[in-house]
Structure 1
Amino acid sequence: MSTEIEWFSTWFDSPYYHLLYRDRDQQEARDFIDALLVHLHPKPGTRLLDLACGKGRHAIYLSEKGYDVTGVDLSPESIVYARQFAQPQLHFEVHDMRDPLPWGPFDFIFNLFTSFGYFAEETENVVALRSAAAALRPGGKMVIDFMNTERAVFELVGREEKTVDGITFHLRRHLDNGFIVKEIRFTDPEGRAQFFEERVRALRRVQFEEYFLMAGLRLAEVLGDYHLTPYDGHRSPRMIFVLKK
């Protein structure tokens, strides 16, 4: 594992990350989870893991549905926020997905909204999947929701500006050595220039399938959007993998 500071360990803890993405569609997220639950039909009381849970919006909603939910995330700030909603069937922990998960076993593991492929070394993706697989019960299922990289690369918007609460974010996207990179520049309220970067590996379906094989996970199906229609490599906005141990 690299000893350099990893971009996600600082950016996801920044208040500006949450400001930039404040307007994410909460209803779309809930509708997606509702569709997943109908599709997967977990029994009441099922143990679920929200892997890379952020501030816990999906974990909280899953808990409201009657499941025993654990949410884990690398960001201490996000977990501090999420823990205000904790109760006996809803727990939050600071955790690096590359490390073994001590809170299992789980019946289902959800990794939603492109929360994968951040690591500098490709082998770390397999390490993360193996850690998740080890925390699944035999016969358990894992859902990985990732962008459809083929379409995302084709439609990449090079430059964009977005103003939120008086702060103008200057965004630049480009490809760099197998990663889709988003550079984020802005001036904070104290007049200081700020720079952050997001780097997500431009993973195609075939690469994921190799990872799954190495992690001992069987690919059950690939869905293409939040309505769970079948995946189409050219047109689908998402790649949603349903995996079985």
Structure 2
Amino acid sequence: MPHSDAEWFSTWFDSSYYHLLYRDRNHAEARFFIDELLLHLHPKPTTRLLDLACGKGRHAIYLSEKGYDVTGVDLSPESIAFAQQFAHEHLHFHVHDMRNPLPYGPFDFIFNLFTSFGYFANETENVVALRSAAAALRPGGKMVIDFMNTERTVRELVAREEKMVEGTTFRLRRHLDNDFVVKEISFTDKQGQERMYEERVRALSRERFEEYFQMAGLRLAEVLGDYQLGPYDEQTSPRMIFVLKK
């Protein structure tokens, strides 16, 4: 399925400035979340896991350190090239667009973590992506989608912010555009050129997600609200974490 080169995520995620801006993402918190998930889901030692939209592979690497057979896929060739240096017999990485069928399965668990969903301009493609994931799950397999709590995110949107990282000042502007939460990122690069990127994530409600799941043939088992796996509360939860079953 060919897709336009102009899709924001196909250029921004491959930029070294993307990795610079998000350099300080909390690794400890991510590992804690994964530990909690594994305790909660208790996969068997022989489990095959897919990290869908794995970025540079740090969560896939961590999962493989736990002894599971892990595959990581991501749209960004640069991120996958970086991840490949950690690959081994039970840890594989592939450049892959989640809208396309996954030839690497079947998997017992699919993880889609840290708001790596809802990027597509065409809403039906969200369902296409979920159907591709569902097709790669074993019957009885589970999928975890960790998304922002849209309700709270929209309510508390910080319109303007500046972040200085290693001498680069990133100017961030956030707003709602139709059905998307948009973050505009502008900065002057090391060559003195003005650069601008934007991130667009569809402001998906729980209800909308539930419609998607139904269309993809996935059953919603539970909704969790934070990385400690507390129950989801629309007003207060920082996250909206879906546990789905095929």
Q: TM-score, normalised by structure 1?
A: 0.99
2:114 corresponds in structure 1 to 113
- Corresponding letter in the other structure for 2:162: E
- Corresponding letter in the other structure for 2:80: I
Matches within 5 A, 1:86-101: 86-101=87-102
Pairwise CA distance, 1:4: 5.3
Q: TM-score, normalised by structure 2?
A: 0.99
CA distance in 2, matches of 1:239, 1:189: 37
Pairwise CA distance, 1:214: 0.1
1:220 corresponds in structure 2 to 221
- Corresponding letter in the other structure for 2:204: L
- Corresponding letter in the other structure for 1:75: S
Pairwise CA distance, 1:3: 3.1
2:104 corresponds in structure 1 to 103
Q: Give the RMSD, CA atoms, in angstroms.
A: 0.7
CA distance in 1, matches of 2:222, 2:46: 25
CA distance in 1, matches of 2:46, 2:32: 20
Pairwise CA distance, 1:32: 0.2
Give a deviation string over 1:38-68, Cα, whole Å, max 9, x none.
0000000200000000000000000000000
1:198 corresponds in structure 2 to 199
Matches within 5 A, 1:68-83: 68-83=69-84
1:50 aligns with 2:51: yes
CA distance in 2, matches of 1:132, 1:5: 24
1:209 corresponds in structure 2 to 210
1:144 aligns with 2:145: yes
1:229 corresponds in structure 2 to 230
Q: Which runs of 4+ in 1 moved over 4 A?
A: none
1:9 aligns with 2:25: no
2:169 corresponds in structure 1 to 168
CA distance in 1, matches of 2:5, 2:23: 28
Matches within 5 A, 1:151-190: 151-190=152-191
2:38 corresponds in structure 1 to 37
SS state at 1:85 partner: coil
Give a deviation string over 1:134-177, Cα, whole Å, max 9, x none.
00000000000000000000000000000000000000000001
CA distance in 2, matches of 1:14, 1:74: 13
- Corresponding letter in the other structure for 1:151: R
CA distance in 2, matches of 1:2, 1:180: 22
SS state at 1:236 partner: coil
CA distance in 2, matches of 1:30, 1:224: 17
- Corresponding letter in the other structure for 1:215: A
Pairwise CA distance, 1:5: 1.1
Pairwise CA distance, 1:108: 0.1
Aligned residues: 245
Give a deviation string over 1:162-199, Cα, whole Å, max 9, x none.
00000000000000010000000000011000000000
CA distance in 2, matches of 1:144, 1:45: 22
1:125 corresponds in structure 2 to 126
- Corresponding letter in the other structure for 1:240: I
CA distance in 1, matches of 2:5, 2:117: 19
1:23 corresponds in structure 2 to 24
CA distance in 2, matches of 1:4, 1:188: 22
1:67 aligns with 2:68: yes
Structure 2 unmatched runs, 5+: none
